[in-house]
Amino acid sequence: EIFTIFSNSVTNGGKTTLAEKLKNMLPNCDIISQDDFFKPESEVETDERGFKLYDVLDALYMDEMVTSIRNWMKSPARSGVVTQEPQNTRDNLKNVCILIVEGFLLYNYEPLNELWNRRYFLTLPYEECKKRRSTRVYQPPDTPGYFDGHVWPMYLKYKNELEENPSMQVDYLDGTKSQEELLSYVYSDIIQELNKLRE
């Protein structure tokens, strides 16, 4: 049995950390990261201001990403992680293979839409997001004004598109909460969903 979790977030929203921690807690769990599918810099478009347009689907090999997810679903990885769950929950989980797909532009790409069981979206307010972004080193490095000129506007556009689409079942999470709180919430939610599937 395959269970897929899609974790989306604003830049530096904490999705990768959350995904890694979940992987260590869930049995037979693997992660596919959207960041692994960026096109090389030479293939990413530049706008009239000289900004590289990384925060759009065209900057990514999305068809390759879908292929990777489908291939994983055909032959999922079995890790044998022993979870700390009570025996009955553990028995419930042992035949499940879980895939976490994490990225920043997952829910507006049609071919991914039939592949998920649960969707989460980590959000951050502007100031916190900008502060976190400024502490990270990117290749290529952010040019001056890049966050305000490209990254944040694209995030807002994307989030608005999601919120205007009533068929999108997304669980929005507050990225300013502690990692422990977010992990505890998402983990419990996943276990609950898995138990429902079993009923």
String of DSSP letters for 81-112:
---SS-HHHHHHHTT-EEEEEEESS-TT-GGG
Give the domains, in start order, of the chain with CATH numbers. 2-78+94-197 (3.40.50.300)
Rounded to two decimals, the pTM is 0.89
Q: Which of 72-86, 125-139, 156-170 has the lowest mean pLDDT?
A: 72-86
pLDDT tens digits along 24-40? 988 889 999 999 999 99
Instruction: Indicate the range of 57-61, 136-140, 167-171 predicted with least confidence.
Output: 136-140
Annotated catalytic residues are: 35
CB 84, CB 93: distance < 8 Å: no
3 state DSSP class of 36: helix
